[in-house]
Amino acid sequence: MVTMNSADNALKSLYLGVVSEQLNTSVNPLLAKIKQTTQDVWGKEIRRLAQYGINGGIGAGTEDGTLPAAAGNNYDQFVLTLKNLYGTIEISDKAVRASENNVGAFVNLLNAEMEGLLKASSFNFGRMLFGDGNGTLGKVSEVKDDGSVVLDGVKNVVEGMVIDFLSSAGAAIDGASGRRITSVDRASKTITVSGTKLTSTTVPANSIITVQNSYGKEITGLKAIFSSTGKLYGLDRATHKWLIPHMKTNVGTISETVIQEAIDTLEENTGSQVNFIVCSSGVKRAYQKALAAYKRNIDVMELQGGYKALSYNGIPVVSDRFCPDGTMYLLNTDDFALHQLCDWKWLEGEDGRVIKQVANKPVYSATLVKYADLVCTRPCGQAMLSGITEA
C-alpha cells in the first residue's frame, strides 16, 4: 500500500542520487566539464583567493652580489553570495489516494513528476550558465492588441515557465507577476501568458521578463565574466585588468585561423590552455561549412556524459542552445568551479519529511535545493569571438 511515508522514503533514498547525477552531468557538456566543490564556502558566501601574474622573487646577479628581493605571488579575494537554486514538485491528495492500492500507478505518477522537474531544472540551469546573474530571459519589443508579447528573442523561454514582467530598471510591474507562458511562437518571437490581458500601457517596450522571483538571484554565468567594465566577484575591472577576458567582436566569417589566433593570444599573454569551445548552433554550422570548403574531414569526439562534439586540434567544439547567436567561447575549464554548500538535497521539515502539505490546499509538495555559484579564477585566460556570420 502506498503511503506518504513510503513516498517520502522513495524521494530520499531512490530518486535523490539519480536526480543529482543527472543535474550535475546531463544538463549540458559544459557543466559536465566544470568541477564541483565545497571548498572556499564560508557560511553563506564563497571566498576564493585568486592568483594573478607571477612571483617576482627572481633575478640575476654577480657571484657575491645581493640576492633578489622576495616578492611573492599576487592574490586578490573573490567574494560571492551563494545563490539559492530550487525545484519543486507537487502531487495532489486525490492522485495519491487514487493510487494508494496500486504501487505501479503511484511509481508512474512519481516518475512523471520527477522527469518534469529534471527537464525544467536542466533547462534553467543550462540557461543560467550563459547569463549574467540578473536572470533576464528577454526584453519586450511590444505588446499586441490581443495581449500577446513580442520579445527580442525567445531562446530562453518555453511553455510552462512562470515569469515576472519587470521595468527596464528591474522594478516589479503591478499585476504582471507570476504569469505562466501558455504558448511560444518562435517564428514571430511572440509569447502568450496566463491571467488578465496585458497592454502596452501595463508592460511598455523595453520591459524585461525573468523567472518568477528570480531577478538578480541567479548564478554568475559567462555573460557576467565576458565584460570589460564594472565589477566581477566584488573587484573593479578598472583597477584589476586581469579580470578582462580576450574579446574580439565583428568577426564575420569563422575560420581555423580566427580560432587559432584567439588560442595563441591566450597562450602567449596568460599561459592559458584552451580545452573547451562552445558556440551557438549557427556558428557550429558555419565552422562545418568552412571545413567543407577546404575539403577537410570533420573529426568527431565523444565527451563525458556521452555527448558528441566536433574537434579542433583535439579541442571539443560543442553547440549549446543558450549560447548567444554569432558567438563562440574558448575556455580553459580548469579555471572554473561550481562552489556549493552541498550537492542537491531535498528540503526537510523539522520532522525529517521532504513531502509536505501545501497550506490550505489538498496538495503535497517537495522541493529540491542547491546553494552554489560559478567562479572563474582566471578570466583573462578565456576568450570570446562574437559577431560571427552564422550558417
pLDDT confidence of residue 308? 80
93-to-3, 99, 101, 363, 368 alpha-carbon distances in Å = 11, 10, 14, 5, 20
| Greater model confidence, 228 or 109 | 228
Query: Grid coordinates in use for 364?
Result: 503535497
**What are the φ/ψ torsions at residue 315 (nearest 5 degrees)?**
-95, 125
pLDDT confidence of residue 305? 67
pLDDT confidence of residue 65? 78
Kindly state the average pLDDT of the residues 216-232: 95
CB atoms under 10 Å from CB of 95, counted, come to 18
Residue 295 clears pLDDT 90, i.e. is over it:
no
Residue 104 clears pLDDT 80, i.e. is over it:
no
8 Å CB contact between 310 and 298? yes
DSSP 26: S
| Greater model confidence, 299 or 82 | 82
- The answer to whether the pTM exceeds 0.85 is yes
What digits encode the pLDDT tens for the residues 1-30? 667 787 888 888 888 888 888 888 777 888
H runs (alpha helix) in the chain:
4-10, 16-25, 29-33, 93-98, 103-128, 222-225, 256-270, 281-293
* pLDDT grade for 340, boundaries at 50, 70 and 90: very high
Kindly state the average pLDDT of the residues 268-289: 94
Share of the chain above pLDDT 70, in %: 97
* pLDDT grade for 55, boundaries at 50, 70 and 90: low
Share of the chain above pLDDT 90, in %: 62
8 Å CB contact between 78 and 233? yes
Q: How many residues does the chain have?
A: 391
Residue 37 clears pLDDT 70, i.e. is over it:
yes
8 Å CB contact between 286 and 325? no
Kindly state the average pLDDT of the residues 286-294: 87
Closest CA to 128 of 44, 189, 216: 216
Q: Which residues contact 160 (CB under 8 A, 6 or more apart)?
A: 120, 180, 181
Kindly state the average pLDDT of the residues 95-114: 78
pLDDT confidence of residue 36? 93
What digits encode the pLDDT tens for the residues 134-184? 999 999 999 999 999 999 999 999 999 999 999 999 999 999 999 999 999
* pLDDT grade for 108, boundaries at 50, 70 and 90: confident
pLDDT confidence of residue 21? 83
* pLDDT grade for 116, boundaries at 50, 70 and 90: confident
Element spanning 180, H or E:
strand 179-185
Task: Transcribe 185-212 into DSSP letters.
Answer: ETTTTEEEESSSPP-TTTS-TT-EEEET
pLDDT confidence of residue 10? 83
Kindly state the average pLDDT of the residues 182-189: 97
Residue 70 clears pLDDT 90, i.e. is over it:
no
pLDDT confidence of residue 90? 85
Question: For the chain, what is the mean pLDDT?
Answer: 90
